[in-house]
């Protein structure tokens, strides 16, 4: 029942929030989009960099006509509220643990129309991949090519995701999980673009790096809501 309920909620959210803004310019509705940050267990710092989502939403208000909130929400996998958010965001540096019930709930959310964006803030890759195997033991991460619409739906990124932080000095890569042709999860690795959304004095990233990171964040949300 949860899958069926959420699969109805997402198209309705798009119908009343995204399509009116595309069709009628600055027309706004009362239901504003916000990122829900996923609060997970295991000891990883799911809460790090509290300025990132408010800054991204502020940037998006300046560069899109979407109806946007000013702050993030926090949600746990077992919260019924999970199914009210079209997009959830996960980041951190360390261990992530999903119980069997949490994995089932996340699976229902994603198959029912939800979208997960995960950004490795350095050190979570091994744990995140292991836990997502609990969610989808039958699915494999697919590397996303540069010509995918997520890189061209609002701002243009002909070379794929921008590099924000060096980490191990490897080229940035992105991966997706798909269900019936729809991307249900998007994962950025060796780039950490969400750090580029933080206040300028947090990581000391130059303005041009932060701008590209915010543009890519905008693309992710626009793609997730309109694919």
Separation of alpha carbons 72 and 87, rounded Å: 11
**Residues near 99 by beta carbon (within 8 Å), at least 6 away in sequence:** 41
Instruction: Give the single-character DSSP code of 93.
Output: S
Beta bridge partners of 175: 143, 187
DSSP codes, 36-71: EEEE-BSS--TT--TTHHHHHHHHHHHH----B-SS
Any idea how long the chain is? 227
| pLDDT band of 8, cuts 50, 70, 90 | very low
How high is the pLDDT of residue 166? Answer: 76
Decide which of 221 and 2 is more confident.
Answer: 221
Task: Provide, rounded to the nearest whole percent, the portion of the chain with pLDDT above 70.
Answer: 87
Average the pLDDT over each of 2-11, 72-81, 120-129 and give the range with the smallest value: 2-11
Separation of alpha carbons 224 and 227, rounded Å: 6
> For the chain, which domains are there?
2-226 (3.40.50.12140)
Helix, strand, coil content of the chain in percent (nearest 5): 40, 20, 40
| pLDDT band of 64, cuts 50, 70, 90 | very high
Compute CA 198 distance to the chain's CA centroid, rounded to the nearest angstrom.
15
Closest to 172 (Cα-Cα) out of 106, 219, 125? 125
Average the pLDDT over each of 31-35, 42-46, 138-142 and give the range with the smallest value: 31-35
Distance between start and end Cα atoms, the chain: 23
């Amino acid at each position: 029942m949860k899958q069926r309920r959420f699969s109805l909620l997402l198209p309705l959210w798009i119908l009343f929030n995204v399509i009116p803004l595309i069709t009628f310019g600055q027309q706004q509705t009362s239901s504003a989009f916000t990122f829900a940050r996923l609060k997970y267990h295991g000891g990883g710092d799911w809460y790090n960099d509290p300025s990132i989502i408010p800054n991204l939403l502020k940037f998006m208000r300046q560069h899109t006509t979407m109806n946007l909130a000013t702050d993030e929400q926090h949600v746990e996998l077992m919260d019924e509220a999970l199914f009210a958010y079209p997009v959830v965001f996960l980041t951190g540096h360390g261990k992530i643990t999903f119980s069997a019930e949490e994995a089932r709930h996340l699976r229902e959310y994603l198959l029912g129309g939800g979208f997960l964006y995960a950004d490795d803030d350095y050190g979570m890759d091994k744990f995140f991949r292991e836990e997502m195997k609990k969610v989808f033991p039958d699915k494999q991460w697919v590397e996303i090519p540069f010509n995918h619409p997520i890189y061209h739906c609002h701002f243009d990124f002909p070379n794929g995701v921008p590099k924000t932080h060096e980490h191990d000095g490897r080229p940035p890569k992105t991966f997706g999980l798909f269900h019936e042709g729809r991307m249900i999860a998007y994962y950025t690795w060796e780039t950490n673009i969400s750090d580029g959304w933080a206040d300028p004095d947090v990581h000391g990233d130059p303005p041009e790096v932060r701008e590209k990171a915010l543009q890519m964040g905008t693309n992710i949300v626009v793609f997730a809501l309109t694919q």
